[in-house]
Structure 1
Amino acid sequence: MTKPDGANSPGPDANPSPRLLLLDEGDNVLVCTRPIAAGDQFLIDGRLHAAQVAIPVGHKVARHALAAGDKVLKYGAPVGSANRPIAAGEWIHLHNLDSDYIPTHSRKTVGSGSGGP
């Protein structure tokens, strides 16, 4: 486990190059600028979180708790909807985010032949 760092975290535990980047003040996600290992601790808006799984560079982390159906906002714009409740600090990706613009495919639907053309 590493020392905490993260977005909006002034003080001695703050890293000058935080692992999480807020792209727009209205966003409810942060973007990983460096890999986060499972168990690593980081701050989001002054609250300490621990990664439950490894989070790759460029992936999203919930800035605060989201309910199923909530719009996920990145760059100040919706990029999809939560398909289940998402806790603050949780990794957001295909397993808990549905696109509102294109069909969402999974290995199950693609492999079964029901995933579209």
Structure 2
Amino acid sequence: MSLQLALKINDRDNVATIFADGIVSGSEVEVRDKQGNSEIIKVLGDIPFGHKIALKDIHPGEEIFKYGEEIGAATKEIKKGEYVHVHNLDSMRGRGDLKGERNK
């Protein structure tokens, strides 16, 4: 069976987007970047199609980058290979309560 695919779009990214259905905990994904480099990462939790996987350990408060843009900050420790979503990510975009602080 071939490895499932995840894509890292920008060098700044610390998450990649999953492009396969049914990525389950314990499986492996191949993360590819624009330059053709790839890395195999063990998945630590089920991840739906189109969602994010951590490419490195991300610490609470650390910015999370997808497609080269900051999409938020980690709300707790995220291990390499874990699902990154609303349960461990605080979005900084479109937050009226943060006007003038971090809203970009």
Report TM bin, short chain. Answer: 0.7 to 0.9
Q: CA deviation at 1:66?
A: 0.5
**Given the superposition, is the C-alpha separation of residues 33 and 97 from structure 1 closer, same or farther in structure 2, using an over 3 Å criterion?**
same
Could you state the TM-score of these two structures normalised by the residue count of structure 2?
0.73
- Matching residue of 1:22: 8
Question: Runs of 4+ in structure 1 displaced over 4 angstroms?
Answer: none
Q: More strand by proportion, 1 or 2? A: 2
- Matching residue of 1:80: 72
SS in 1 for 2:58: coil
* Aligned-residue CA RMSD (Å): 2.0
Could you state the TM-score of these two structures normalised by the residue count of structure 1?
0.65
Higher radius of gyration, 1 or 2: 1
The one of the two structures with greater contact order (alpha-carbon pairs below 8 A, sep at least 6) is 2
Name which of structure 1's ranges 53-62 and 32-41 shifts more when overlaid on structure 2. Answer: 32-41
Structure 1 residues without counterparts, runs of 5 or longer: 6-17, 104-117
Number of equivalent positions: 88
Candidates 44, 47, 52, aligned match of 1:55: 47
Structure 2 residues without counterparts, runs of 5 or longer: 32-37, 96-104
1:81 aligned partner, one-letter code:
A
Q: CA deviation at 1:77?
A: 0.7
- Matching residue of 1:9: none
Residue 34 (1) aligns with residue 20 (2): yes
